[in-house]
Structure 1
């Protein structure tokens, strides 16, 4: 099983979840929300091949924690995965929009200078701005659009730029989400949970949940084994890209 966007450090008992992840052999991209959270997560989760800790700075936090921007840039050379980064254009975050965008564009440019990174990208309410930044800088980076909520035209633009997509269960339970997922090539997606910010019937999703796999199996008329195998292939292709 794969969970390519999980806030492992934000579970109430992250170490217990981590132990279960290792036991179940789940491949997890443990995204972080700040450079300090990244360093702390490395201490807890950096001792296994099953979990990759990503250097992140959530767009909702960048403006209020500008003192950590330098720390983020200092850590870039030490990590292969970046996330969660991006731009949030929702009304409550308009006050920090300029700072968010400037920081995200700087991250794209710096990672390109360092031979590229795999980036898990937040684009809620700001898909055009995120894709503009990717288009201006893309060469070696591999952008993964996390929980993509753009329209069909924006999706096609993202695909034309070489973007990948991480799909979580919430995208599979609405008509618009299903329509979006089914327009993404199967070889350009990976499952995610975005846990612990997602739940089903009051129960938090866990990195080993298989809702996305089951949804894709039904939609494509394939077995769960076939979809899991495709996701494993996708992950290998992605990791071999950089």
Structure 2
């Protein structure tokens, strides 16, 4: 039930060697601000990659008031939690990516690393467990058991910590839902970078789960993704970048960043035939419902040098 197809989706995350690595210009600022609920500030893209402070400053200037910085292993999850602790525009999500789980399991380290994620999940400005889930495109049959075990453990961490769950789902729509139904989904569950069709979108929304749309919804070869967007209540919608990947049109192939959210949001509003400010207000409200307010927990220290992943 993928609309781009897994191979095309994977290609969308990669830039051809001959493509320029320049960041796009600032878009017109939004009148009503929103949040980027899934980004990777730790990944410096291109020869002149922007550090996290510059990305956040650009985002603030165009009406993106905050981001959820997402970890994919223990190191990036630690970094995410520490940045969130000192930067008021950042909340953190922590997890082991499903593609990491089989190798960690082979090393006999999965339980220890899951314990590390559980510890990070207890920190005040960590508001989600993710990205976790299942990815059967990159992982073969021999790694599926480890992915499922890791996914189930992350679900339990989210429930015990009272946090939202951010799901990575590739080529595994049915299996992801089966796990969530079998073990019980957290109260707030988000399908990050939603990639299903309208039928799957309706199923997700019927469960009360959220669908987060990335720059892929703007791609010309993704009409089924726009049909999925139209198929669900607006109370189910979130928006994200998955930066530095999945840059929205008209800048596909160049580095992505949270400040480009306005392009995706305006495309979504066009598809839905609604005013962009009305959609922004709805999505902003949805995002705070999932993660809470960005200013409800104070930062520990003012932003300062933090160069480990820069």
Q: Same fold by TM (over 0.5)?
A: yes
In structure 2, distance between residues paired with 1:143 and 1:44: 23
Deviations 1:127-158 (A, max 9, x none): 11111121123364311001222344433322
Q: Structure 1 unaligned segments of length 5 or more: list them.
A: none
In structure 2, distance between residues paired with 1:226 and 1:153: 25
Give the superposed CA RMSD: 2.3
1:72 aligns to 2:111 (yes or no) = no
- The alpha-carbon distance between structure 1 residues 8 and 206, as it changes in their structure 2 partners (threshold 3 A), is same
Give the CA deviation at 1:38: 1.3
Deviations 1:172-198 (A, max 9, x none): 321111111111211111111111122
Taking the TM superposition and a 5 Å limit, the aligned residue runs for 1:68-217 are: 68-78=113-123, 79-114=126-161, 116-138=162-184, 140-173=186-219, 174-199=222-247, 200-209=251-260, 210-217=262-269
TM-score by length of 1: 0.88
Give the CA deviation at 1:96: 1.7
1:54 — aligned with what?
93
Is this contact kept in 1: 2:164–2:190, CA < 8 A? yes
Higher helix residue share: 1
- The alpha-carbon distance between structure 1 residues 240 and 75, as it changes in their structure 2 partners (threshold 3 A), is closer
2:16 — aligned with what?
none
In structure 2, distance between residues paired with 1:76 and 1:45: 12
Choose from 25, 39, 55 the match for 1:17.
55
Larger radius of gyration: 2
Q: Structure 2 unaligned segments of length 5 or more: list them.
A: 1-33, 294-310
1:4 — aligned with what?
37
Deviations 1:87-139 (A, max 9, x none): 1011544432110111101221233234x321110111111111112112336
- The alpha-carbon distance between structure 1 residues 229 and 91, as it changes in their structure 2 partners (threshold 3 A), is closer
Is this contact kept in 2: 1:63–1:100, CA < 8 A? yes
- Secondary structure (helix, strand or coil) at the match of 2:195 reads coil
Is this contact kept in 1: 2:36–2:241, CA < 8 A? yes
In structure 1, distance between residues paired with 2:92 and 2:218: 26
- Secondary structure (helix, strand or coil) at the match of 1:123 reads strand
- Secondary structure (helix, strand or coil) at the match of 1:3 reads strand
- The alpha-carbon distance between structure 1 residues 137 and 49, as it changes in their structure 2 partners (threshold 3 A), is farther
Q: Greater shift after overlay, 161-170 or 135-144?
A: 135-144
